[in-house]
């Protein structure tokens, strides 16, 4: 008698497929997102607490016109908050949305917020239309901010508040005094030397306020990132530092008000004693307003 092989049902007897394993990249993605969210929330909550713990009760209050470009999304304004807190100055943000360009509203805001000084931060190019320049070569122009800061500068000067300008702050300060700006993009070598991470040397004018603050006539390296610079100097200002190619790197006031502006970024040089001197000199002047 012939033996027969029992028939099998492939749908019944086939081995079951192993249970799908969760994809590891999804777990890592979720973990990374949760970590970033935790760090972000911790920073947003913890940073203001740290600021309050560091600042003395008599810290001068500085009106701070912040950077309004894409750099604000990567924390550039927090860099100002960090370095000025270490220098014992309290930054109070002010923008055109708070007062517009009305001098009376600006003066009222300064009084209401008990402001002792003004800080003009970096940002986009100043509108060339303000000084007869070529608008086609400017980038990240915010005319509303330009008009506001010019009005803020004039009110601050009337009240003899100390003013510190950084990068764009140097440029708008010169324009507010009737000066003009040059476009460094007209010379590729100048543009490369003044917009890079490696930095460049600067020479300081003898007997200038800046030279006295830094106690030197030369800095071996400052980091600057700008394509505009002072061309025709504004009224009641003087040039106090120059860089490669004779590009103006710092200006200061010649009148009674304490006015200083630099093209480089001392707020990014945390721990550099020379750059800290600039911030502390400004804070010291602001403190005098409280006496």
Using alpha carbons, select from 202, 224, 230 the residue that is nearest to residue 214: 202
Average pLDDT over residues 136-157: 95
Answering whether pTM is above 0.95, one says: no
Say if residue 70's pLDDT is above 80. yes
**Which residue in 39, 42, 119, 128 sits closest to 79, CA to CA?**
119
How sure is the predictor about 1, in pLDDT bands with cuts at 50, 70 and 90? very low
- C-alpha pair distances (Å), 148 with each of 36, 45, 102, 285: 36, 30, 8, 24
First to last CA, the chain: 119
Give pairs for 129-138: CB < 8 Å, separation 24+: 130/175, 131/175, 131/179, 131/180, 131/181, 132/180, 133/180, 133/181, 133/183, 134/183, 137/183, 137/185, 137/186, 138/183, 138/228
Mean pLDDT of the chain: 86
Question: For the residues 47-61, what does the mean pLDDT come to?
Answer: 87
Question: For the chain, which residues make up each domain, given as ranges?
Answer: 47-288
Give the closest residue to 266 by CA, choosing from 80, 132, 74, 125.
80
The pLDDT score that the predictor gives to residue 203 is: 96
Q: Which of 18-22, 60-64, 244-248 has the highest mean pLDDT?
A: 60-64
Whether domain 47-288 has CATH 3.20.20.70: no
What percent of the chain clears pLDDT 90, i.e. is strictly above it? 60
The residue with greater pLDDT, 179 or 57, is 179
Q: Which residues are catalytic?
A: 167, 265, 267
Name the phi and psi angles at 70, rounded to 5.
Answer: -60, -20
In contact, 118 and 166? CB cutoff 8 Å: no
């Amino acid at each position: 008698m012939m033996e027969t092989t029992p028939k099998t049902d492939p749908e019944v007897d086939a081995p079951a497929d192993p249970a799908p394993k969760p994809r590891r990249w999804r777990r890592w993605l979720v973990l990374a997102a949760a970590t970033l969210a935790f760090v972000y929330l911790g920073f947003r909550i913890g940073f203001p607490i740290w600021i309050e713990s560091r600042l003395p009760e008599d810290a001068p209050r500085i009106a701070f016109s912040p950077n309004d470009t894409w750099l604000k999304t990567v924390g550039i304004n927090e860099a100002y908050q960090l370095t000025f807190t270490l220098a014992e100055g309290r930054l109070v943000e002010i923008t055109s949305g708070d007062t517009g360009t009305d001098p009376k509203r600006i003066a009222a805001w300064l009084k209401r917020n008990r402001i002792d000084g003004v800080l003009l931060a970096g940002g986009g190019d100043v509108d060339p239309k303000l000084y007869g320049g070529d608008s086609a070569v400017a980038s990240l122009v915010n005319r509303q901010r330009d008009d506001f800061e010019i009005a803020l500068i004039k009110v601050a000067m009337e009240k003899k508040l100390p003013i510190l300008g950084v990068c764009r702050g140097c440029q708008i300060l010169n324009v507010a005094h009737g000066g003009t700006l040059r476009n460094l993009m007209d010379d590729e070598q100048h543009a490369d030397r003044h917009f890079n991470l490696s930095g460049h040397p600067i020479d300081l004018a003898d007997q200038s306020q800046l030279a006295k603050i830094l106690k030197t006539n030369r800095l071996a390296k400052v980091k600057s990132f700008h394509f505009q610079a002072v061309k025709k100097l504004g009224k009641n200002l003087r040039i106090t530092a120059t860089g490669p190619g004779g590009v103006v790197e710092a200006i200061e006031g010649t009148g009674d008000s304490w006015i200083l502006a630099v093209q480089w970024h001392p707020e990014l040089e945390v721990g550099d004693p020379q750059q800290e001197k600039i911030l502390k000199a400004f804070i010291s002047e602001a403190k005098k307003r409280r006496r």
